A and B are shown apart, each in its own frame.
Chain A
Amino acid sequence: MPASAFKSAELVTFPLSQTMLHFTTSGTTALATGHHYLDTRALYDASLLAGFERLFLDGTKIARMLTLVPERDGSSLRHMLLHVSASLDLGPERNFLHDDALDVTGLLDAVADARADGRPIVVAGTAFAFVALLDALAADGGDASLPPGSRVMETGGFKGKSRVVPQPALYAELGAAFALPTSAIVAEYGMTELCSQYYDAAPRPADPARARLKIAPPWLRPLVVDARGNELPHGTVGMLKHVDLANRPSVLAIQTEDLAVASAAGIVLLGRDADASLRGCSLDVEHLIR
């Protein structure tokens, strides 16, 4: 099923009236919104929590979570972070991004509290929020260093809300700002249409700039396919298809426009074409800064 089909139809394996969770994609009025309906929280929550604990925390015990994510109704990311926070007893929600504006003072105060406490924490946010934080720190200063052992989860893209920073540079700057090794900064890759998420595998210390592999829990299998849907051999660039067994309430196999390369150890994401943009006499801002 193409991911875009979630914008055209209610793709469910149960009567829609039994919906317990309803997530929506972050579309604009110009673009249709995708809907993902689930008949139970249990499967979704179990899937996301298991992935978060095993692939992201990897045994790290954390005391609290600070987030920099949009407060949008229907956001699966926000649901995920709230559920993780509640399940791991990380205290009430502490989000510092409101209407795309970052509460830098509030965040730095919370980070200072965490430093005083000394136990590791998680800071989770979108790439554009992290860029905004870095810009604010560069302009106004401030101590964002986290307690040792803390981790940072970067999720989502820039979506035209900030300058675009290549991932290695972003992670290097975040590492410096948070006083963490870049290996403690992990990208999460999820979709509203999926019940499970991918995370970066631990980067190779000898080659930190190398593209990071994404790994998935055992019930989420990535397939790299050609335009006709045929699976491609490892090492070949193709389109990414997800087979997520946790998607029992909707569609198990979802075809995306994302390009990826598969290997025995995971996948490398290569991005996608600009989102349905007009090209016209085109010169886009990314060309300008490239």
Chain B
Amino acid sequence: MSNTSSADRGALRRVPAERIVAAIADAAARWADADFPPRVRVQARIEKRLRYTTPVVDYALDALFRSIDAASLRAVIESELGSLAALDDFVARPNRSHAHARAVGNVLVIASGTTIGVAIPATIFALCAKCDVIVKDRSDGFVAEFFETLAQERPEFARAASAVTWNAGVTPGADNRVLFGWAQAVVAYGDDPALAAIRAQCTPGARFTGFGNRATVGYLSSVATADIDDVELDGIARDALLYDGDGCLSLHALFVERPDRTFLERLGAAITRVAIEFPLGDVTLERRARMAQAHDHALFNAAIGKGAGVPADDGRALVHLTTERPSLAPRVLSVIGVNHVDEVGELLATWKLPLEAIALSAFEKSSDAHRFAEGSGAVRVARFGTLQRPALTGNHGGEQLITPFVRWIERA
């Protein structure tokens, strides 16, 4: 039996990190082109699987691949590990012993059911760390197609990266036991029970990084509401409409300090404008029923003097002024009126909405709003209109990007 560790067997072990970075960036650049044939093929399959419209999927793929460039990859690696060279060999570190950031070993990435390309950033950083990676992907084959492009850039990727189509669960089954036994690090996305089920399958020594379901909210003080322009209102609408509320960076609720009818109508008009570019997808009947219930509920509440409902996009969307927990229905933007930003935290705690991000206006002058946003538990504070374009360098879920995939070897 060999005593060679899995980290030593990695297909990318002998490839300099700089070349891995360059190859990934080149592959991403090809995918950023909307006419790149693999992207065209995958796009149709994503639309079929997720029922989003073409512009929505286009937006997602543009946002993802335009964020992946050599400068961003380098910036993350240098920020977390000190240098790219640390991935290739022992390097000197100020006031510390020499060390080498070796691949942690094999990495298993269990991809999401909804968010487009959610597995890609974790995967490319695992590859930068010279790990072998298997991605359990959905039936659209997106990751597998991207891996083919990577292999065209450097043949080592063909052995380092592979995708398997999702099939019948994580828990029982010989295939899954083999996969989990193979992995020294597991990355998974899902709700708490799903993450718990996946974590239970990991070997005791495996690193586990779980990305739970999170919400994103926005806040507008009365000053910002007064100053806000149509461009930013369109940004709010885009944040809310993209992916029909599915993403953790979708705007699920907008807290507004003392909103008035004019603001609601301006927001409704913005949703109508943006819905032309990003129309409602072919949502399932179940979700249509939820939308209808949310619409009727909002209009009922408005009729009894509790809140208001402003239809938008010819009745296909709704701005819902409410004091209740957001409905989370597609195309229903809950606007929650508050008297002060401090109420926002209390409501989020009551509603048990864990935050991924919080959005503020570019016109936000309230220091209380900025203080709240930074202490809200959200891992990202963004401007309206930018929520759905996270930078590759951002810390999704508050996690490090390449650190989970390396193991430091010290040399005294």
A and B pair up: yes
A241 to chain B, nearest CB (A): 11
A290-B169 contact given A7-B324, A278-B214, CB 8 Å threshold: yes
A282-B190 contact given A4-B293, A8-B306, A288-B171, CB 8 Å threshold: yes
B288 at the interface (CB under 8 A from A): yes
Q: With a CB–CB cut-off of 8 A, which chain B residues contact A282?
A: 112-115, 189-191, 213, 246
Q: With a CB–CB cut-off of 8 A, which chain A residues contact B293?
A: 2-4, 255-257
Q: Mark B316-339, 1 if CB is under 8 A from A, else 0.
A: 000000001101100000000000
B297 touches A280 (CB 8 A): no
Question: Which one of A4, A238, A279 lies within 8 Å of B246 (CB-CB)?
Answer: A279
Question: In the bound complex, what is the Cα–Cα distance between A280 and B296 (angstroms)?
Answer: 25
B168 to chain A, nearest CB (A): 7
Q: With a CB–CB cut-off of 8 A, which chain A residues contact B252?
A: 278
B327 touches A284 (CB 8 A): no
Q: Mark A1-36, 1 if CB is under 8 A from B, else 0.
A: 111110111000000000000000000111110000
Question: A41-49, A103-111, A268-276: which one contacts chain B?
Answer: A268-276
A284-B193 contact given A4-B293, A273-B289, A276-B327, CB 8 Å threshold: yes
Question: Which one of B191, B292, B353 lies within 8 Å of A284 (CB-CB)?
Answer: B191
B325 touches A31 (CB 8 A): yes
Closest chain B residue, CB of each to CB of A271: B286
B284 to chain A, nearest CB (A): 7
Q: With a CB–CB cut-off of 8 A, which chain B residues contact A57?
A: none
A287 at the interface (CB under 8 A from B): yes
A258-B190 contact given A8-B301, A278-B215, A280-B213, CB 8 Å threshold: no
B194 touches A281 (CB 8 A): no
Question: In the bound complex, what is the Cα–Cα distance between A281 and B351 (angstroms)?
Answer: 19
B252 to chain A, nearest CB (A): 8
B127 to chain A, nearest CB (A): 20
B381 at the interface (CB under 8 A from A): no
A1 touches B300 (CB 8 A): yes
Question: In the bound complex, what is the Cα–Cα distance between A1 and B296 (angstroms)?
Answer: 8
A141 at the interface (CB under 8 A from B): no
B234 at the interface (CB under 8 A from A): no
A255-B246 contact given A7-B324, A272-B289, CB 8 Å threshold: no
A30-B194 contact given A273-B287, A273-B289, A284-B113, CB 8 Å threshold: no
A285 to chain B, nearest CB (A): 4
Question: Which one of B114, B189, B285, B300 lies within 8 Å of A8 (CB-CB)?
Answer: B300
Interface residues of A in 199-230 (CB under 8 A from B): 227
Question: In the bound complex, what is the Cα–Cα distance between A7 and B298 (angstroms)?
Answer: 12
A249 to chain B, nearest CB (A): 18
Q: With a CB–CB cut-off of 8 A, which chain B residues contact A279?
A: 114, 213, 245-247, 328
- Chain A interface residue bracket vs B: 35 or more
B144 to chain A, nearest CB (A): 18
Interface residues of B in 230-257 (CB under 8 A from A): 245-248, 252
A281 touches B211 (CB 8 A): yes
A231 to chain B, nearest CB (A): 14
A190 to chain B, nearest CB (A): 18
A288 touches B197 (CB 8 A): yes
Closest chain A residue, CB of each to CB of B249: A280
B386 to chain A, nearest CB (A): 18
A280 touches B214 (CB 8 A): yes
A239 at the interface (CB under 8 A from B): yes
Q: With a CB–CB cut-off of 8 A, which chain A residues contact B356?
A: 280
B7 to chain A, nearest CB (A): 28
A281 touches B193 (CB 8 A): no
Most A CB within 10 A of own CB, among B289, B328, B354: B289
- Given A4-B293, A8-B304, A259-B289, 8 additional A-B pairs, CB 8 A: A3-B293, A29-B350, A256-B293, A276-B328, A277-B328, A284-B193, A287-B190, A288-B190
**Lowest 6 A-B CB distances belong to which pairs?**
A280-B213, A283-B190, A280-B248, A273-B286, A285-B193, A2-B296
A and B contact pairs by CB, cutoff 8 A, 22 listed: A2-B296, A2-B297, A5-B301, A30-B352, A32-B325, A256-B293, A258-B289, A259-B286, A272-B289, A278-B252, A278-B354, A279-B213, A280-B215, A280-B247, A281-B114, A281-B189, A281-B190, A284-B113, A284-B191, A287-B113, A288-B171, A290-B169
